[in-house]
Structure 1
């Protein structure tokens, strides 16, 4: 039996055991998992230091190394996310009842998805977040992180499984594919009989590979080519604050702003000061010709830049003639993730909200809020940019499906 088949079979067995356990037992498991992370903090940090050293040795970009890094504060954040799940309502078992004229009672009930496979890159905190969400929603989980974080992920999963064991749950509710060879992921794609859904988190190449090659249904999480549009009726001080936060607070994550669109009527008033401040933060600015006429100290932008998710201290800037042009540009080049308008005009805000095709559309706020924790969901398993079943930050509800329970007293169909 192959290693992947063995993992898949154990996950299927575990999913049957965890699906029916009580909320109290699941919450106890989350507490024990959080406690184990705290107890193993030094071991996890030591493992992460080995990953970071290897990443630097092979020349990984600093922005990607930043995503990879763990420290005491970030592990505390992972612990906090697990404990936050304890306080969230359990979706499993919730539902609605319908009484039919023939006396049948239909109960539409939420149930776990079953076995969830998560394929992701770089960020080892995803290991803990994804596992915690799956446990609370009654699913087993197969984790396949990137090779750059393998030591960190192994240490984190070791801690989480210790927590499961203390809670008297099967440790194979959470399994990590430790072999990061690409052949293993291709094997996982074939496990349709055992794995109910795959969720890829990472760059466009990873997501494309999963979508095009998996025999298992996929919930697609997209890259974040996110835009800030500064309207002609914007509060320019507010716009600058939102822009700086969205671009510089954590440029390596998918909800960071990658493009800035500015209405031509306020471009001369807004761009010089805003772009200078971005450069003060170390941001490389790539601008269109109109941007460069207003603020010459920028790099000419190339045509293919408009569709790139930089995940770095880089931003593309375009001056537009109208809100309609801004919306059209976003819908053409955006990835359906998070888009924002800064404006004081109510009608133009509504036009943007209705016209932009994205999972999250903001008025007068930073795109950095697209996050399960910020949305009150606890951690999230990913930001879905598709339109089936789940869209936007995916929390506990999105890790369930529905089941109809039909109660009768002898009815037969005519």
Structure 2
């Protein structure tokens, strides 16, 4: 068993705060890294040590592998937790950690590589018996090849960046006439976001729900499906609201989804927390979309419904401890709902009040007087509510959002309240295109 005493957190914002607290709960020292723009951030103040890794630009700081590895060596950190985003699914970063004998809190670099390349991931899932969306068997970088694949699959198609995630480099293309323009835009976006211009295609499903299964796996080969989440409410492929459990999922389909997720994770030798993402075409049919080889933004809803601390489990697994439970132990209790709070402008937080009380959790790096920089993702907080039913969780969330005050910058608080009052949302009559259609009419 490895001895971990000090963990470097290679991230920022609310997830860095979340990881630092988990380290402290286990008696571990936590090291923060920060850019010049983040020198006064909460994660820097909460860490036992902090080291600057560069300018505000992500590619010169939070994406700078050399600087982060150097920071770990200077502070004599035993491990690096990458959080989500940035380098969390970067094969080169994980491999560098392995080479430098620094524990990477996540799967092995070969697994990240395997699941990060969408075409290879699809092939792996097919071999494991996991249903996949038609298409996507071959990557391409040129327009001619892409057009040929699209015609073979049949329009409409979904164009995706092979190295992508978070909706970057993703386009729905309805006809051959639109392919050239959309291909150019998507590939340019993929190159900018991931420094990789490989693309692939899938058949576009017009009205699916987005369901994902949270798994956790140890070094002893034990894999457990912790539960599933419904992440259907999305705007421009970016998740807005997440729920657990997915009430649109029949129990028989849920158990099949768990079974294929666990089987696939075992076959690739997965270790740590990960997420299998699926498109639910109807109550009985689902298709593999991708695997996220990291902790997810929406992990709190799974924590609240399972009673497990997923970040703490990541740390325990990283030092070689086996899972303290099996699949039979997992039960889903009640209902959890998460809203992502985004700052629509940069600036100084002049007044701040975040909700609290029974059934309410807030994950954030905000404090009064904090200056939100313009250089990073707009999400600044997550409000999560928990109750005996979906109706109760929604009611709690409306109250929590109404109570929240974030002055000095513009946020999406009012927009979220509007969504929660939409009849289709309340009645769960939505699909992944619902929000884009709704916002196009208001």
TM-score normalised per structure 2 = 0.32
Greater percentage in strand = 2
TM-score normalised per structure 1 = 0.33
Select the structure with the greater relative contact order (CA < 8 A; seq sep ≥ 6): 1
Greater percentage in helix = 1
> Computing the radius of gyration over CA atoms, which structure comes out larger, 1 or 2?
1
